[in-house]
Amino acid sequence: MPLIDVHCHVSPFDFPAAPGGEVAHRWPCMKCGSKAAGTLMIGDKPFRELDNRSWDVSRRLEDMDRDGVAIQVLSPMPELLSYWYDVKDALLICDAVNAQISGMIKQHPTRFRGLGAVPLQDPLAAARYLRRVREDYGLSGVEIGSNINGIMLGDPSFEGFFAEAEALGMCVFVHALHPIAAKAAAVPPADTAFVYFPIDVAMAAASVAMAGLLDRFPRLRIAFSHGGGALGSLVGRMDTGWNATGGYGGRMAEAPSAVIGKMFFDSNVLSADYLCYLVRQVAPGKVFAGTDYPYLIQQQDPDSFISNLPLSADEIQSLKWRAAEDFLNERFAGF
């Protein structure tokens, strides 16, 4: 079966020049000796070592062919979502990242689709920019953070953005970013990536569910990275609370388990047993493949990993490509 990998990141090699003033201290740039590898700097601080898999199409295609991946859905390195800048400065990065993704798709349109960045620190500006993401850059949707400068996604201020995404038929992929709990605890970076990312994604998904967002926008296609993080372990507790509190004070017309079953999730949980639980119990038909390529924590050999899960042929087919098609709202020839 073909495989669509929906959780794959890119970064430009070249960034626009930093605007003047304090923003320069948090502006991204690449420090390297060649286009083969280097260090992404945020201001004068190293952020991540990168190689040309982040920007070079031919290098990426080699890995896709090796791993049995027919299509990658490209999205920005989350640190480039740029919610901590003024909107006019953030748009410079959004444009650069979206142009990078668009350019990679144009080189091999049968192998790539894309999710762009928007300045969601200003929800109205982000809603206006969505049309440009679709029409100017040709992208299928957007990637957003699990919180926006500490504000959860169920906050009413984001409703106009989600309404526009639904109206335009654009999908939304929620990725862990600057976890709230990690900031409060001042934990080491490794702890943040391996522990607090999935906690923040679970908080984001619970916030969306409990705010009744999918009641108001039933055609919104929204997905959560890292398998929704810890969300799967909370479903029973959330349902119990729904019954005990009159639908959380009337905020939720349906039980949380029913609402969560309408969301999409990627497979990047790095546990075969837990992935089977997601596929069969939490969100049947709504879990798609996602590797977190090309980073250290990525799922290795995704085709073999999924093919050997103790799932039915239909469940494996859904995980490999059908759920991704539903999320992207696109059917691919030959699948």
Task: Tell me the torsion sign for CA atoms 163, 169, 174, 177.
Answer: negative
- State residue 162 phi and psi, 5-degree precision: -65, -35
* pLDDT at res. 268: 97
Query: Is 264:309 a contact under the CB 8 Å cutoff?
Result: no
* pLDDT at res. 20: 80
pLDDT at 25 over 90: no
Give me 194's structure tokens.
């391996």
> Distance between CA 216 and CA 199 in Å, rounded?
25
The pLDDT tens digits for 154-191 are 999 999 999 999 999 999 999 999 999 888 777 888 88
pLDDT at 264 over 90: yes
* pLDDT at res. 187: 83
The pLDDT tens digits for 280-293 are 999 999 999 999 99
* pLDDT at res. 334: 84
> Distance between CA 111 and CA 325 in Å, rounded?
14
3-state secondary structure (DSSP) of residue 77: coil
Across the chain, mean pLDDT equals 96
Q: Mark out the alpha helices in the chain (DSSP H runs).
A: 57-67, 87-107, 123-135, 159-168, 180-185, 189-191, 197-210, 213-216, 235-244, 246-250, 256-260, 272-277, 302-307, 313-317, 323-328
The pLDDT tens digits for 293-332 are 999 889 999 999 999 999 999 999 999 999 999 999 999 9
The pLDDT tens digits for 198-254 are 999 999 999 999 999 999 999 999 999 999 999 999 999 999 999 999 999 999 999
The pTM score is 0.97
pLDDT at 150 over 90: yes
Distance set, CA 123 to CA 8, 97, 143, 219, 261 (Å):
25, 19, 14, 19, 26
Q: Which of 177, 182, 184 is nearest to 149 (CA)?
A: 177
Q: Which residues of 125-154 are buried (b: 16+ CB within 10 A; e: fewer)?
A: bbbebbebbbeebbbbbbbbbbbbeebbbb
> Distance between CA 228 and CA 202 in Å, rounded?
5
